A and B are shown apart, each in its own frame.
Chain A
Amino acid sequence: MTLPAYAELHCLTNFSFLRGASHPEELAERAAQLGYAALAITDECSVAGVVKAHLAAKQSGLKLIIGSELRLDDGMKLVLLARNRAGYGNLTALITLGRRRAEKGAYCLLRGDFEGWNGGGMPDCLALWIAPREAAEEDGQWLAGHFPGRAWIAYERHLAADDAEHLAHLRMLSQATGLPLAASGDVHMHSRARRPLQDVVTALRLHTSVDHAGHALFPNGERSLRPRVRLARLYPSELLAETLRIAALCEFSLDELRYEYPDEVVPAGETPATFLRRCVEEGLLRRYSAGVPEPVRAQIEHELALIGELGYEQYFLTVYDIVAFACGRGILCQGRGSAANSAVCYALGITGVDPVHGKMLFERFVSKERHEPPDIDVDFEHQRREEVIQYIYRKYGRERAALVATVVGYRTRGALRDVGRALGFERARIDALTASLSWWDNREDLPARFQAAGLDPASPRVDKWLRLAAEIRRFPRHLSQHVGGFVISRGRLDRLVPIENARMAERSVIQWDKNDIDALGLMKVDVLALGMLTTIRRALDLVSRRHGRPFRLQDVPLEVPAVYEMISAADTIGVFQIESRAQMAMLPRLRPRRFYDLVIEVAIVRPGPIQGDMVHPYLRRRDGLEEITYQSEAVRGVLERTLGVPLFQEQAMQLAIVAAGFTPDEADQLRRSMAAWRLKGDVGSFRDKLVNGMRDRGYTQEFAERLFRQIEGFGEYGFPESHAMSFALLVYVSAWLKCFEPAAFLCALLNSLPMGFYSASQLVQDARRHGVEVRAVDVAASDWESTLVAGRQTAQANATAVPPAVRLGLQRIAGLSQATGERIAAARVKKESSAGAFRDVADLARRARLTRADLDLLAGAGALARLAGHRRQAAWAVSDVPVQGDLLAEAPPRDDKVIPQGRVPAFASGVFPSVITLAAPSEGQNLVADYASLRLTLGRHPLCLLREKLTALRYAAAAQLHALASGCPARCAGIVTGRQRPLTAAGTLFVTLEDETGYANIVVHPGLVERQRRELLGARLLGVLGVLQREGEVVHLVARRLVDHSELLGPLATRSRDFR
């Protein structure tokens, strides 16, 4: 028997969330393996999985058809298939219509939606009717009328008892309506081995367990891609043949999608090329008032020529338009990533890296060989990015601009939780298991975690739990919005890809994610948010105001030695990028002295260089401990600026080109596959090519192998040099601000929180150690945000030389609303000229329209000190002040006489004074209240109060550790402010302890992590007994034993920030 040809026309992937049980790639690969003539991906009202299937199908030479399964609101179920580009556009527009009508995750389509199209139904689409057992003839008539000659009745055989009757019924319908029959499979999984997972997702969809899902589960595994030999037995041959006829009618491929740039960024009378040229020339005048340097001019001409050749002018102009809008509004922004390789981007103000500084690798950004558009990512001030987003929506409209989707998939914890539910484990059991999973646990530890939660990993159901949870990991669960990737098109975007509602009102997302967009060559503009830009802009504003003249980014003096000295001493709390513990440990060793050192610093403390073992060779060469050698002149050209050690992604690519004979295109593939290696471990082919290529060119095997290991180490974590440059700029500027305008810098940081590694408390402590005066939150002086105020005049200094102080804002009070804080500030300013500040608490409450709860918060923060005395006195005072809300609430008696005699007798006889004096709180009580309300204190550090006890327990202060020699046993205790377990550290956990003298860095090795998990996770005040380890100026305490001393803190509220 010869195998019949077959095209599967009805197939769902796991992008029909909780319905399909296979990845699109798995389905395409399996269909190709089985020798199917074509495969249609028809997810329910979605094309979210088609790009992934398209790429896999292309690789295996399978014809892919794009379609969608739709259930109309009256229950009719259709599969629509796109015949050509027009039909595809109609389909995506219909999906958009159905999705935008319903809330996120749902859709709604009516029969009426098929009226009014020119040509009826959905032009250029084919329809399969998935007729139910009791299908009515009228439905078929309707379909035949709306899809003349383009509709079929699907016979889907899954070995039910009544298959023969069903087929007979469909044949009758076919005769009555004239719709031909075709075979299809209603495929939900690529292989019948997915049956367990299929049942699990079904149970999850119905919020039940597999034991109780009953008939909702499929009765068997027939909804899989079946071998053609089986299909031949199941279906009449003419029905199989019909599938080929249908597939032949579908000629559309995703490769046909042509993206068109929006054209309104070019004014009338100009071509994109002339206008881009004009913008660039204007920009060059701004950037180089003294004339454009020759190499820059050449670079510009080179780039413009390439841009023109590839037709990317409108893309640059689109980004320029957005950036120009932001600049016009005073919103700080800066391009990141490979755009920093472009002089054109610099001229347009998109990036800040002067092409004079570095070696531009424009081909990394725009390449003739690669048929893909450039990718410009722009960071905007975090707090004002929304203005930019709304500008884009306003300018292009919601039909033409939408955010890229992010596919939210199952991760370990969610997979365990959901599979556990589907397998009928009790909630408490599941909670116990997932709660005991820590942020650092690896998947390999799972069996141990099961055991710890009292579950036997060997029991059959627990074993299934583990296996199915592993299988469902990375399954997509829903579409969310990308952080800032916009797709903007010339025509209607919904004819390119369906648009859905996002969870956030006023946002819409397309059904494709970033990888899909990249694969299809659509243009994306990343409108990202960067907190440090907010800080820098705020600090610059504060400096400008204080000096009475504008102080801009470009006014920051470059290459100031004092800045580098500060950085080299690792005095970098609050500075962009180089404030983490790992960065701080590197700074004293690298001792940056110029801008390019910062670029290296940013790039070197990354998993890539660390795993590729590049850090130590670089440092040794820099310190002159190792000879710098180059294997050839070509290699010298690539690696000279990093002393012969490849540190950047670009260098790895260039080496592959100059030393191993890769084409630029191949080198780029190499870069991309670096990211994939970690996932698939498929390195063989590139390894051979690289090593052989280098040997052929006369390099030693050993050098080639080492280079390969280094490239491999980059993995997905390698840092492009251009990106490091953009970041290094912000590093320098923020460091300069910290060095020369510490008060403004602190103030700006506080107003931009949360960001970076440090809490407000740590930032304030650091600034005060640097002599910045910080004043308490005070209703009589504080605004909502922290402010820069005049410092205390001393006799000898004149006014401008007095360093400013920072007044903490009302914002620091936990629980106080912004509106309230702003009302207080506004009320004070209004009256300040005439009546002066608030007279008393009652005056404050009346003028700022405060509620009782507001007053309590202010009293608790100590912000009423000037009006009502210490905290307790203030609390006593505010609780009796009339406030607005009292009119509605039960009015407390205003006068003692009102209390009925005998109801509430005086507690004790005696005459009370009219003004009650309450005992002032102790220092410790104040501290606790400070932390509870402000999460920081301007008083002494909590550990100052405990120092005597800690000394008695023989704990040293953090600062004392620095005086010890390496190898000394040492003990230290402090408040846990951070726990970190980097991927590169092989299970070692880093803990940061804080005391009144600074920070102590603790290293906890994996064995101890397991043994003292409880102390590590639970302690707020941790005592560490260990051995000191010193490398230059960097000191670590390697823990041997941990002691939880949290009880010493009492109710003090502390917080730790935990990182992976």
Chain B
Amino acid sequence: MSLTAARALVPTLNVVVRDMAREAAAIAALACWAGSFTPRISLVPPRQDQAASALLLEIGACLRLFGGIERIVVAADAGVAAQGYSLRYAVAPSAQGALWLAQATEPVLCGDAAALSARLAALPVATLDLPPRAVARLAQVGVRALADARRLPTAALARRIGSDAVAMIARAFGELPDPRPAFVFPAHYGADLELPAPVDNAAALLFAARRLTAALAGWLAARQSGVSECVLHLRRPRQPATALALRFATATRDAMRFERVLRERLERLVLTAPVEALRLEATGVAPLPGHSGDLFEASHGAHDMATLLERLCARLGETRVHGLACRAEHRPECATATVAVAQGDNGTSGSTAPRPLWLLARPQALREHAGRPQRNGPLQLLGGPERIESGWWQEGELSGASIGDVRRDYFVALAADGRWLWIYRDNRLPGGWFLHGFFS
């Protein structure tokens, strides 16, 4: 069914577009986490034509360590659930077989080849990720289940659906070796997590961060290492990230310990704005000693502008220091925008018409005498009018920044005290004269 058709049926349908990049990041993080079970992991990355990505864990070598298949499965299920995911799985002697079973059926444990064969034989070929042409061809000749395909002569079938498809089936049944590219654990650990919705309380943050700490634990396990320090970055909209350094007296890879320290830090943190993303970086990985220690050291170029701005931000608060940039807008109030300090000139050119350097935050009403505007005496109109009528689209949307539709005639005026003013006459009712800025 096309999206259009679906919408015709359910007009209120809420559509979420699949984000392949985030999915790839999530499966990579899970692969790191899975390092706590086995270092031999392979990753089936997300593909547009596939419903889900997958992780392949080779657990033959660690069965004894964990005390059997069931225990591993239970631990994996709990670990995944703790990170807020749900698990579909199958355990089978062949990687391809396990993949297909996990995709197609309820959780299943196949201890040996015979059990696997029996399970696979019943799978409908239409649901498998065989090449689309092979699936179509099999449907044409009336093959529904894998068992039907197995009844056809291999070579003849290979000519029709391609030897790749035939080989895939053979691998699933364990009749061909199935080498898989091993997941390479990153040399440095640093993982991002975009939160599905902004979070403003510590408990929810802690829950979300579990995905990252779980992955870190897995990564450390696979490397046979521990961590003495890691940093959690909290990103909030339009603000610099906050870094929470988690230090451990001794190197560790105990997820519980991570969580305890993290909880303490988070509970003391005052969240000024909701957090929309997290990043966890392992900064001190043991047994590597003497990691860079100049993170908070003041150094070179103490007098440059950047340092000054950093200090201002630190003293006054980040929200109180900002830069100004031009915006292409006819309405003077909207022709400038405040931007973060770090952000430079955005390249937008301003109006070519004369604009005062100092614009009042709020226009001041001027007295009027004999039709002429007054400010400590009559004002002399020097240039104009410049008529500005714009902004109708914001009319009625009275949020803080919106001024709605304006209809004004602007003039440059000379005041009795010799100052040059920018004034306007409001053409909307009730009208009147206003001072909007100073040229000098």
Task: Decide if A464 touches B393 in the complex (CB within 8 Å).
Answer: yes
> Which residue from A162, A164, A424, A903 sits with its C-beta under 8 Å from B176?
A903
**B302 interface residue (CB < 8 Å to A):** no
B176 touches A905 (CB 8 A): yes
* A436 CA to B15 CA, complexed, in Å: 14
Q: Which residue from B15, B137, B167, B389 sits with its C-beta under 8 Å from A219?
A: B389
- Secondary structure at chain A's binding surface: helix, strand, loop or mixed? loop
Answer yes or no: A818 CB below 8 A from chain B CBs.
no
If A449-B11, A452-B11, A875-B137 touch, whether A160 touches B353 (CB-CB below 8 Å) is: yes
Complex: A712 Cα to B10 Cα, angstroms: 40
CA distance A1018 to B10 in the complex (A): 10
A-contact 0/1 string along B152-170, CB 8 Å cutoff? 1111101111110011011
Is residue B392 within 8 Å, beta carbon to beta carbon, of the partner chain? yes
Whether B140 contacts A210 by the Cβ 8 Å rule is no
Q: Which A residues lie within 8 Å of B159 (CB)?
A: 879-880, 892-894
Q: Mark A670-687, 1 if CB is under 8 A from B, else 0.
A: 000000000000000000
Q: Are A217 and B390 touching (Cβ within 8 A)?
A: yes
Q: A872-B142, A875-B137, A921-B142 are in contact. Are A454 and B12 (CB under 8 A)?
A: yes
A428 touches B15 (CB 8 A): yes
Residues from chain A with a CB closer than 8 A to the CB of B386 are 159-161, 219
CA distance in complex: A160, B150 (Å):
82
**From residue B405, how far is it (CB to closest CB) to chain A in Å?**
9
Q: How far is the CA of A435 from the CA of B11 in the complex (A)?
A: 8
Which of B151, B161, B354 has the most CB atoms of chain A within a 10 A radius of its CB? B151
Contact residues, B136-192 vs A (CB, 8 A): 137, 140-142, 149-156, 158-163, 166-167, 169-170, 173, 175-176
Q: Are A453 and B140 in contact (CB under 8 A)?
A: no
Q: Is B397 an interface residue (CB 8 A)?
A: yes
A879–B160 touching, CB < 8 Å: yes
Of A57-65, A90-98, A504-512, A912-920, the segment with at least 4 beta carbons within 8 Å of chain B is A912-920
Kindly state the separation between the CA atoms of A925 and B139 in the bound complex, as whole angstroms: 11
Encoded as 1 (CB less than 8 Å from any A CB) or 0, chain B from 355 to 394 comes to: 0000000000000000000000000000111111110110
Contact between B160 and A164 (Cβ–Cβ < 8 Å)? no
Interface residues of A in 176-203 (CB under 8 A from B): 192, 195-196, 199
B393/A461 in contact, CB under 8 A: yes
Asked if A222 is at the interface of the complex by the 8 Å CB criterion, the answer is yes
Instruction: Output the nearest chain A residue to B152 by Cβ-Cβ distance.
Output: A916
Q: Decide yes or no: A161 and B410 within 8 Å by CB, A904-B154, A905-B170, A907-B170 being known contacts.
A: yes
B-side interface size class: 35 or more
Query: A892 with B387: in contact, given A215-B351, A903-B176, A908-B150 (CB under 8 Å)?
Result: no
- Bound together, the chains give a CA A925 to CA B141 distance in angstroms of 12
- With CB as the reference atom, state the residue of chain A lying closest to B173: A907
Is A220 a contact of B396 with CB atoms below 8 Å? no
Chain B residues with CB under 8 Å of A859's CB are: 140
| Residue with the highest number of chain A CB atoms closer than 10 Å, among B11, B329, B387 | B11
Q: Are B140 and A196 in contact (CB under 8 A)?
A: no
A1014-B397 in contact given A161-B386, A219-B388, A904-B163 (Cβ < 8 Å): no
Q: Would A892 and B142 be within 8 Å (CB), given that A460-B396, A1014-B9 are in contact?
A: no
Q: Is the CB of A196 within 8 A of B392?
A: yes
Q: A918 contacts which of B9, B142, B351 (Cβ < 8 Å)?
A: B142
**What residues on B are CB-neighbors of A871 within 8 Å?**
140
Q: When the two chains form their complex, are residues A893 and B330 in contact, meaning their CB atoms are under 8 A apart?
A: no
Does chain A have a CB within 8 A of B395? yes
Task: Tell me which residues across on chain B come within 8 A of A438, comparing CB atoms.
Answer: 8
CB-CB < 8 A to A432: which residues of B? 7, 11-13, 15
The reply to whether A899 and B160 form a contact with Cβ atoms under 8 Å apart is no
Which residue, B9, B140, B354, has most C-beta atoms of chain A within 10 A? Answer: B140
| Chain A residue with Cβ nearest B410 | A161
- The answer, yes or no, to whether B272 is at the interface (CB within 8 Å) is no
**Cα A258 to Cα B292 with chains together (Å):** 91
The reply to whether B4 and A435 contact each other, CB–CB distance below 8 Å, is: yes
Does A214 count as interface, using CB distance less than 8 angstroms? yes
Q: CA separation between A665 and B424, bound complex, in Å?
A: 60
- A161 near B11: Cβ-Cβ < 8 Å: no
Knowing A217-B390, A436-B7, say if A876 contacts B160 (CB, 8 Å): yes
Give 1 or 0 for each of A127-171: 1 = CB within 8 Å of chain B CB. 000000000000000000000000000000011111010000000
Closest to A221 in B: B389
Tell me the minimal C-beta distance from A95 to chain B in angstroms. 33
- Taking the complex as formed, is A431 at the interface, i.e. its CB lies under 8 A from any CB of chain B? yes
* Beta-carbon contact of A199 and B156 below 8 Å: no
B contact residues around A464 at 8 Å (CB)? 392-393, 395
Q: Does any Cβ of A come within 8 Å of B233's Cβ?
A: no
Centre residue among B169, B175, B389 by max chain A CB count within 10 A: B389
**Pairwise interchain contact A904-B330, C-beta atoms closer than 8 A:** no
Residue among B149, B327, B393, B395 with the most chain A CB within 10 A? B393
- Pair A904/B410 contact, Cβ less than 8 Å: no
Q: Is the CB of A906 within 8 A of B15?
A: no
Q: Using a CB-CB cutoff of 8 Å, which residues 1011-1060 of chain A contact chain B?
A: 1013-1014, 1017-1018
Pairwise interchain contact A435-B8, C-beta atoms closer than 8 A: yes
Inter-chain CA distance A1013–B140, complex, in Å, is 36
Q: How far is the CB of A355 from chain B (nearest CB, A)?
A: 52
Task: Give the nearest-CB partner of B354 in chain A.
Answer: A161
Q: How far is the CB of B218 from chain A (nearest CB, A)?
A: 36
The answer to whether A460 and B387 touch (CB under 8 A), given A860-B140, A876-B160, is no
Q: Specify which chain B residues have a CB less than 8 angstroms from the CB of A435 in the assembled complex.
A: 3-4, 7-8, 11
Question: Chain A nearest CB: distance from B63 CB in Å?
Answer: 28
Contacts of B384 in A (CB 8 A): 161
Query: Which residues of B come within 8 Å of A, CB atoms?
Result: 3-5, 7-13, 15, 137, 140-142, 149-156, 158-163, 166-167, 169-170, 173, 175-176, 327-330, 348, 351, 353-354, 383-390, 392-393, 395-397, 407, 409-410
The 5 closest A-B pairs by CB, nearest first: A214-B328, A460-B396, A875-B140, A159-B387, A436-B11
20 contacts between A and B (CB under 8 A): A217-B390, A220-B330, A220-B388, A424-B393, A431-B4, A431-B7, A452-B11, A453-B12, A460-B395, A464-B393, A856-B140, A860-B140, A896-B153, A899-B163, A903-B167, A904-B163, A905-B176, A907-B154, A1014-B9, A1017-B8
Q: A215-B330, A908-B151 are in contact. List 6 more A-B contacts (CB 8 A).
A: A435-B11, A436-B8, A449-B11, A859-B140, A912-B156, A1017-B9
A residues near B (Cβ < 8 Å) are 158-162, 164, 192, 195-196, 199, 210-211, 214-215, 217, 219-222, 423-424, 428, 431-432, 435-436, 438, 449, 452-454, 460-461, 463-464, 856, 859-860, 871-872, 875-876, 879-880, 892-896, 899, 902-908, 912, 916, 918-919, 921, 925, 1013-1014, 1017-1018
